[in-house]
């Protein structure tokens, strides 16, 4: 095959891969996008055993637990599974695990659940190591600490998550995708303020 023929073949293959991705036939993991190897996720296995689909059921559960800013408008009223069976920390890491399909929506939902009131730092650290997702959790925690440095949870989490290589540029959502931006502050007037998205009470 000549040079032009080889280039044409590459072009055909690229188009085919594009169609495969468009049709949802390629299940690319976050691990793959980060340039590492995916593992069998204990949390995703647990979610499926509980009858929660991945990732759509995890999104639904996040909305049911208070992440109403990510609602699709069709979530059932009753929780798919109670917090006793699948904790908020587990839900956060199930959404953020590198073993899951690459989807920025999952990452944003996971970031919100990571900041859920009452989350235990120790549990998050343990699950993060379990899911081999230190790079993802550390990225989210660093973004959160930048927007709300007064929240001790983020500083404690960063102190216990090992420093690892930063995720490849463009893989993780931009920090501003984790917050709500307001252009007016009472008593001051026009001023851009940022609020970390987390489950509402």
pLDDT higher than threshold 70 for residue 161:
yes
Mean pLDDT of the chain: 87
Mean pLDDT of 146-167: 96
The whole-number pLDDT of residue 65 equals 97
pLDDT confidence of 192, banded at 50, 70, 90?
confident
When mean pLDDT is compared across 5-9, 20-24, 89-93, 126-130, the lowest value belongs to 5-9
The whole-number pLDDT of residue 50 equals 98
Of the two residues 27 and 151, the one the predictor is more confident about is 151
Of the two residues 126 and 4, the one the predictor is more confident about is 126
pLDDT higher than threshold 80 for residue 5:
no
pLDDT higher than threshold 80 for residue 12:
no
Tens-digit pLDDT profile for residues 57-72: 999 999 999 999 999 8
Of the two residues 70 and 16, the one the predictor is more confident about is 70
The whole-number pLDDT of residue 99 equals 98
| 3-state SS track over the chain | CCHHHHHHHHHHHHHHHHHHHHCCCCCCEHHHHHCCCCCCCHHHHHHHHCCCCCCHHHHHHHHHCCCHHHCCCCCCCCCCCCCCCCCHHHHHHHHHCCCCECCHHHHHHHHHHHCCCCCCHHHHHHHHHHCCCHHHHHHHHHHHHHHCCCCHHHHHHHHHCCCCCCCCCCCCCCHHHHEEEEEEECCCEEEEEEEECCCCC
pLDDT higher than threshold 80 for residue 19:
no
Residue for token pair 């944003």: 108
pLDDT higher than threshold 70 for residue 13:
no
The whole-number pLDDT of residue 187 equals 62
Tens-digit pLDDT profile for residues 74-115: 899 899 999 999 999 999 999 999 999 999 999 999 999 999
Of 130, 121, 192, which Cα lies nearest the Cα of 155?
A: 121
């Amino acid at each position: 095959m000549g040079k032009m023929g080889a280039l044409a073949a590459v072009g055909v293959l690229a188009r085919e891969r594009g169609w495969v991705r468009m049709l949802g036939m390629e299940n690319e993991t976050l691990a793959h996008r980060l340039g590492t190897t995916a593992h069998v996720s204990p949390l995703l296995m647990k979610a499926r055993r509980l009858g929660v689909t991945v990732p759509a059921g995890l999104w639904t559960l996040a909305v049911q637990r208070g992440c109403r800013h990510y609602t699709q408008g069709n979530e059932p009223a009753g929780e798919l599974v109670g917090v006793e069976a699948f904790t908020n920390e587990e839900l956060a890491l199930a959404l953020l695990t590198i073993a899951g399909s690459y989807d920025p929506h999952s990452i944003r939902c996971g970031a919100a659940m990571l900041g859920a009131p009452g989350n235990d730092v120790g549990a998050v650290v343990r699950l993060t190591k379990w899911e081999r997702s230190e790079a993802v959790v550390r990225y989210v925690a660093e973004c959160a600490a930048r927007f709300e440095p007064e929240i001790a949870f983020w500083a404690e989490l960063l102190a216990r998550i090992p420093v690892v290589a930063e995720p490849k540029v463009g893989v993780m959502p931009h920090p501003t995708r984790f917050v709500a931006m307001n252009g007016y502050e009472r008593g001051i007037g026009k001023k851009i303020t940022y609020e970390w998205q987390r489950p509402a009470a």
